[in-house]
Amino acid sequence: MQRPTRPLFPDHKFDFGDPAWVVPIQQGGTIEAIWYRQNDDAWLYRLTGLSQPEKWWHEEKLENACPDCGCSWSGMKTCQCGRSPDE
């Protein structure tokens, strides 16, 4: 999925407001906070709409998600709601 504007932080995968799927808990949410942890050289994200909203998730635990239904788009041509990642 292409972003309409340049990312606020250019070296990471997600931006504020992006939909994301959290693989370990199999839930989708929206990026609300971004933190770069320098000692690990890792990007971490907090998402709204999850059963664990206070938890920070490593970037490698997240996948792109449908902005309509929040389902993972990993390896899918369309999601459960019928939307395509190419739209």
Q: What is the pLDDT of residues 50-69, one digit of tens each?
A: 988 789 999 999 998 888 88
What pTM did the predictor assign? 0.78
Q: Which residues contact 53 (CB under 8 A, 6 or more apart)?
A: 29, 46, 47
Sheet holding 27-37, edge to edge: 57-58, 42-48, 27-37, 19-22, 62-64
Q: Percent of the chain scored above 70 by pLDDT?
A: 83
18 token code pair? 């992006």
Contact partners, residue 37, CB within 8 Å, separation at least 6: 43, 44
